[in-house]
């Protein structure tokens, strides 16, 4: 599994056609933590997420503003193409699967 880039032009359409749980990483190529998270994310969500996406906030500034992205990296959880939660957890292989399952067990949050 790898992270599929999303832009302002295909973000909503792509997610609308994604079944199951998916994660969207908002980051920047200049952000060292973002690069680290991007590398470990596929192994960290093994079997927990159906799809992984990434948004470069330097290229998709309107999306970053629309979702009030102020801190990088930011990880958003979607279910069947609809926003479900902001993942406020440690992004590690040990912590992320449990955090995703816990978030999916709760009602969807309001989109930022």
> What domains appear along the chain, each with residue ranges and CATH number?
3-105 (3.40.30.10)
* Average pLDDT of span 58-66: 95
- With a cut of 90, say whether residue 112 has pLDDT above it: no
Share of the chain above pLDDT 70, in %: 100
The pTM score is: 0.94
Shortest CA distance to 61 belongs to which of 72, 51, 52?
Answer: 72
What residues pair up with 78 in beta bridges, in sequence order?
22, 83
22 neighbors 14 (Cβ within 8 angstroms): no
């Amino acid at each position: 599994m790898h992270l599929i880039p999303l832009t302002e032009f295909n973000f909503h359409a792509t997610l609308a056609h994604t079944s199951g749980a998916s994660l969207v990483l908002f980051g920047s190529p200049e952000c060292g933590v973002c690069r680290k998270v991007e590398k470990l994310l596929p192994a960290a969500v093994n079997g927990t997420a159906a799809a992984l996406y990434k948004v470069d906030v330097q290229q998709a500034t309107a999306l970053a503003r629309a979702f009030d992205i102020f801190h990088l990296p930011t990880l958003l959880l979607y279910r069947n193409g609809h926003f479900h939660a902001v993942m406020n957890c440690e992004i590690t292989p040990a912590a992320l699967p449990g955090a995703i399952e816990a978030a999916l067990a709760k009602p969807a949050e309001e989109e930022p």
